[in-house]
Amino acid sequence: MPPKKSGKKKRESGMPRTSVSFPPEVYKTLEDLAARKKVSIGWIVRDAVEKYVADQWPLFSNLKA
C-alpha cells in the first residue's frame, strides 16, 4: 500500500509558504506600490518582513534565504 500523502505539496525552492489577509485599503496600497515598482506584492511583503526581522533581531540581519 503506498504511503498517505499529507496534502501539502513540496516546493522545488524549499521555501515555506504562508497566507496573509490584509484590510482592503492596505491591499490596494500594496497593489499600487507593486505596480509602480514593477514587482509582485509578494516581493514587497518579503522585503518588508526581512527588514522587520533585521530590526527586531540585528544578529539575523545578514541571513538571506
pLDDT the model gives residue 1: 59
pLDDT the model gives residue 16: 92
pTM of the predicted model as reported, rounded to 2 decimal places = 0.67
pLDDT the model gives residue 14: 85
According to the 3-state scheme, what is the secondary structure of 5-30? CCCCCCCCCCCCCCCCCCCHHHHHHH
Ranges of residues in the chain whose predicted pLDDT is under 50 = none
Residues 41-58 have pLDDT tens digits of 999 999 999 999 888 887
pLDDT the model gives residue 19: 95
